[in-house]
Amino acid sequence: MYNSPVPTTAELPSSRQLLRSTVIAAVAAAVLLVTVVFPAEYGKDWTGVGRLLGLTEMGEIKTALAREAAEEAAAAAQQREDDHAQQHASGQAHGHDSAAAESAPAPAPSQPAPPLVMPAAPAPAAAPSAASASAVSAWRDELSLVLKPGEGTEIKLVMREGEKAYFAWTVQGGVVNYDTHGDGGGRSISYVKGRGVPSDEGELVAAFTGNHGWFWRNRGKQDVTLVLRTRGDYSQLKRAK
């Protein structure tokens, strides 16, 4: 160790070489950050390379899971606060009721009850028209899949900006948490979210050209069957791997 030769000044890298190596390393790190890390971790793909490599969908699922976990934690904290406030209000109400009972005067003699008036019977609901029944039955795609406890899945429609798709999904055997959202061209949007929902239906209008659809997760303790039906303006229905 003590006899090893000491490198000369000529053998050491120059300041220019060190600077060039530092710049090359920084550029390579930036390229990896944009093309690999952001798509795989956050679902942000400005170059399109992440989607070609199959990383963007993985990042989108990670982001949806993290967002869902944060929402569940916030909802649980809010529920605890509501329960505490309700218990506190109940205790105060009980005390006020006891005091009022002690100081309340004797009840007055009862008066005869007023005559009971029966409300008019509601008009019968109109039967669905043949046109609406035909629209419901004319689904373009129908997909059924089973979600185990804790399992999630994502299904997207490939749509152009302004296109409309009609959908209806139901859960057999339980409820799910869901997030209706879209992504494409480096943009993303969340349309609506829900927790413990057994079904949903409506119209989905693409805010921009890209993939628009749903992410579901089964937070129950039993398997559930999710049935999705769609029709309208979209070129493809695809399920994230």
Return per-residue pLDDT of the chain as tens, 241 residues.
556 666 666 666 778 878 888 889 888 888 887 787 877 777 777 778 777 777 777 777 777 777 777 777 776 677 777 667 667 666 555 555 555 445 545 545 444 444 444 444 443 434 444 434 444 558 999 999 999 999 999 999 999 999 999 999 999 999 999 999 999 999 999 999 999 999 999 999 999 999 999 999 999 999 999 999 999 999 999 987 6
CB count in 10 Å sphere of residue 6: 5
- Strands (DSSP E) contained in the chain are 141-147, 152-159, 164-172, 176-184, 187-197, 199-205, 210-217, 224-232, 236-239
Answer whether 37's CB lies under 8 Å from 49's CB: no
Q: In what order do the strands lie in the sheet with 164-172?
A: 141-147, 224-232, 164-172, 199-205
- pLDDT given at position 155: 95
Q: Which residue has the tokens 């949903």?
A: 200
- pLDDT given at position 102: 52
Residues 61, 165, 159: CA angle, nearest 5 degrees = 60
Answer whether 201's CB lies under 8 Å from 110's CB: no
- pLDDT given at position 195: 93
pTM above 0.75?
Answer: no
